[in-house]
A and B are shown apart, each in its own frame.
Chain A
């Protein structure tokens, strides 16, 4: 990691005002991301996705984002003007969501969508944008970029769709990619291939990656560092390689309740949640 982190988040809070009272989805989360693979793990409702979205200000009302600081490359994302924010969003920080089916426009060809994303964040001409789109499709290991360029989203498989999303998000050459469960809808082998693409981008282009996932084993084997979230808070930060030595009872509980291929069946230890976790300070 370089001296100054790429992104620095301090005391991030996201509240949703509902008729039944305020729901605190994220409750004081602080972390830094460098040019590394940072995993954010948690169960549904832990606030991991909202954290990812809040960085880009993508939380819809009634959601409210507050933070002491969200700083990206020296720019405070909370106080900056809309123009700068729009240039950063999708340009220097981009985001890949879980399901390509809902992220791609169904009535525009895949290639046009990638080219559009590229032109939005640069002054490339039509031709250059098309070349860039084809290059990106090739970079995510799509065998016949020309054919896929002219295909509509419904004509491609789920794995291909996710590669297309990644190609689109990477075409402006971002410094940071936020990937929210990018491979959860994919088959395991395709999942590994998509991860390899992301991995290469981090190691070869020095991109930062925030990888949001519910899959502890996957994050442990793929990321460099892991944040474990529960009830809108960070419970623990560990080295991914040493996740098995994690101390926090929640992390331990999550690890223990996973069935394993290498171990015989029997009763799985069930996770017992301690209400005190919610209020503890890291």
Chain B
């Protein structure tokens, strides 16, 4: 479904250029959930932004659903691929009602029948009709993220790009949103790319993942390998150790993986 080959993104020019993504390659099969894991500055969000068309200054080759992607995307691409962002406080227009937020993509894509579509979309993410004419500030964080998911789904895309979709939420709300994403994927056979710094969330949602550090993929592995504590790369092992909780002795052994790529 998704092919990414030698994707590189650089910000700035000449000696000051920062290579935010370096020759990143991976593929995601139809109906699969693929995780991109890394710490801040690892380039995981950059990859997602290049794939979604939010960044245009990339090099390499990307295809989605068999179609080669250029720097600019047409409407058909966005009908196929939608994205959910990290911060539900920043990604919804504060002065638009939920109705208008959900109605906009329907109008842009001239899908028609907006009224029924909006009602269905809200129903689908577990928000009833009573939320339809509310403003974002009248919703909790979890409800906002549900609206963001509804907005992405209202175009009936095949691919959902998820950029830290639950990291701004409390754990109990995170569980609800993860369950929602899992159910929708099952019902609609969607393909997910999930970007997260949280290994547990990725291990829960995905079957395969790539670990990134300083713009490069250091290792691609299956979640089974991760669970068996069998990552081959030292960076992945360290990330896994750190994610399993505080261990005074383990901290002593931490290495600095800066600029090793």
Contact = CB atoms under 8 A, between A and B. Distances in A.
Given A192-B251, A261-B243, A261-B244, A270 B175 contact: yes
B227 interface: yes
B203 A259 contact: yes
Contacts of B179: 267-268, 270
Contacts of B176: 270
Given A193-B251, A269-B175, A271-B172, A259 B204 contact: yes
A225 B105 CA distance: 50
Interface string A262-276: 101111111100000
Interface stretch (B45-53, B157-165, B234-242): B234-242
Contacts of A216: 171
Interface string B172-183: 101110110010
Contacts of B226: 261
B104 interface: no
Contacts of A264: 227
A196 B248 contact: yes
A12 interface: no
A195 interface: yes
B201 interface: yes
Q: Please provide the 7 A-B residue pairs with the shortest distance between their CB atoms, ordered closest to farther.
A: A221-B245, A259-B204, A257-B175, A187-B39, A271-B172, A268-B175, A222-B246
A188 interface: yes
Nearest to A196: B251
Given A44-B141, A261-B227, A265-B182, 5 more contacts: A192-B254, A195-B246, A260-B203, A270-B172, A271-B175
A161 to B, nearest CB: 13
Interface residues of A, number: 36
A258 interface: yes
A244 B141 CA distance: 28
A158 interface: yes
Interface residues of B, number: 35
Nearest to A197: B251
Contact of B201 (A189, A221, A259): A259
A256 B77 CA distance: 39
A254 interface: yes
Interface of B: 39-40, 141, 170-172, 174-176, 178-179, 182, 197, 199-201, 203-205, 226-227, 238-240, 242-248, 250-252, 254
* Interface-centre pick from A43, A216, A257, A259 (highest chain B CB count, 10 A): A259
A246 to B, nearest CB: 15
B236 to A, nearest CB: 12
A214 B251 contact: no
A191 interface: yes
Contacts of A220: 245
A10 interface: no
B171 A261 contact: no
A192 B247 CA distance: 8
A187 B243 contact: no
12 contacts: A43-B170, A44-B141, A188-B243, A189-B239, A192-B250, A196-B251, A258-B200, A259-B178, A259-B203, A260-B204, A261-B226, A268-B179
Interface in A162-194: 187-193
Contacts of A260: 200, 203-204
Interface in A201-238: 214, 216-218, 220-222
* Interface-centre pick from B199, B248, B250 (highest chain A CB count, 10 A): B248
A227 to B, nearest CB: 17
A217 B171 CA distance: 11
A237 B171 CA distance: 20
A253 interface: yes
A150 B172 CA distance: 43
Given A193-B251, A221-B245, A257-B171, A187 B227 contact: no
A195 B254 CA distance: 13
B243 A43 contact: no
* Interface-centre pick from A195, A266, A268, A269 (highest chain B CB count, 10 A): A268
